[in-house]
Amino acid sequence: MPSKQTQQKRLSIGIVGGGIGGVALGVALSRHRHLDVQLFEAAPQFSEIGAGVSFGPNAVKAIQLLGLEASYQQIADSSPAPFEDVWFEWRRGSDDTYLTASMAPGVGQSSVHRADFLDAIVANLPEGIAHFGKRCIDVNQDDDSATASFDDGTHFTGDVIIGFDGIKSAVRRHVLPPEQYGEIAPFWSGTYAYRGMIPTDELEAALEAKGSEKRLALVPQMYLGKDRHILTFPVKQSQLVNVVAFITDRSTPNPKLPEDEEWVQAVSQEGMLEVFKGWSPACQAILECIPEPTRWALHELPELARYQRDRVLIVGDAAHALVPHQGAGAGQALEDAYVLATLLADASCHRHNVSTVLSAFEQVRHSRTCKVQRTSHEAGDVYEYAGENIGANETKLIDNLENRFDWLWSHDPHDDVMAARKIVAVATEH
């Protein structure tokens, strides 16, 4: 009989938040028998709001490294040949003139419906790990453990708490106490996004009726204009087209959302059409196919000073929520999940040095995730003819769009793992 000591798990980990990143982390950690993994989700079941989500080559790489590729490929969409490597085609919103395309070789516009993707990865989560109706309200820790408290009066105490609990994170307050760091709150980016989903055949017919090419429905498009842009890409095995139409208030440096305004609200089609009055035939066709749009006030976080405090770490949107203009948010959460799971599963990681491991994670991820936040905001400026030193100059715009994603997409998250291991090794020697 093994002694009680050897039966004990090497590390107990509490994950707060059951979105895409939290579930991916849970799945990856649950493959290791010596780890005790518990996941706490506020909702009564796993669910995702939002519609389509797109993944760049770096995110697809993280999905592969996380061992979730088979689940992903079953539901992922891609553009029809010969456009399978197109991330987006860029067009002038006033007249549909083609400007250029951003190419992501071997990946293209790899997109899914958010809820479908979450379901696909949840299917890999073993029984007994997920707990629902657990809204985290407080976190505290001492030298030996960390505890998350939930609004139903229950608690979880373990060696580590990972806050994957989104832009309105409760874990964040513990990592960055307001008395030391001030109140950190999501801020409105100045941009509203009108969203809708259109059956593909309906959009193809509408485009043709306006004299536009119906292939615009199947190949991902971005229509650009002053303070506005519209994007489309297919989801649900190309049965539906995901549409997001953006408008940004640049009249003041820090636009404020009206006090009591909900982040997401139903709006009239009429109001949305008014915003894009005078835009191209294709844009009119697209928006006229959305009878009941919702309007989202896009929020982001400031770049945070830190993500880790001893045994507690925030990741994903809890740490670096960003605007969606580079399709990079879910990708960063998945990179976080892969890097973190690999470090925590390493045999050299145990309850006495786990703070060092979390600190190493923060050191290798912080500058990249901050840069993704910053460049995502800048990308929105570029698309809306407000890019620094670019404006409405189409020659400069085309050059920027052809190259701006290279650094983001070429990243291999395994390099982060290797860098973090070096940091831990050095810290352990001293």
Positions marked active-site? 195
Give the residues across from 299 on adjacent strands. Answer: 188
**423 to 4, 207, 306, 314: CA distances (angstroms):** 33, 55, 17, 19
CB 125 within 8 A of CB 26: yes
Structure tokens at 234: 């297919």
123: left (phi over 0), alpha (psi -120 to 50) or beta: alpha
Name the 3-class secondary structure at 84.
coil
For residue 59, give the nearest of 111, 7, 98, 125 by alpha carbon: 111
Q: Cα angle at 84 between 225 and 244, to 5 degrees?
A: 35
Q: Cα angle at 354 between 353 and 356, to 5 degrees?
A: 70
- β-pairing, 294-300 vs 146-150, is unpaired
Name the 3-class secondary structure at 12.
strand
360 — phi, psi (to 5°)? -65, -40
**In angstroms, rounded to a whole number, what is the distance separating the alpha carbons of residues 319 and 112?**
23
- Using a 10 angstrom Cβ sphere, with 0-12 exposed, 13-18 middle and 19 or more buried, the burial of residue 395 is exposed
Structure tokens at 53: 């989500």
DSSP 8-state assignment for residue 124: T
Name the 3-class secondary structure at 189.
strand
CB 28 within 8 A of CB 15: no
**406 to 276, 325, 401, 411: CA distances (angstroms):** 31, 15, 10, 9
For residue 121, give the nearest of 15, 222, 23 by alpha carbon: 23
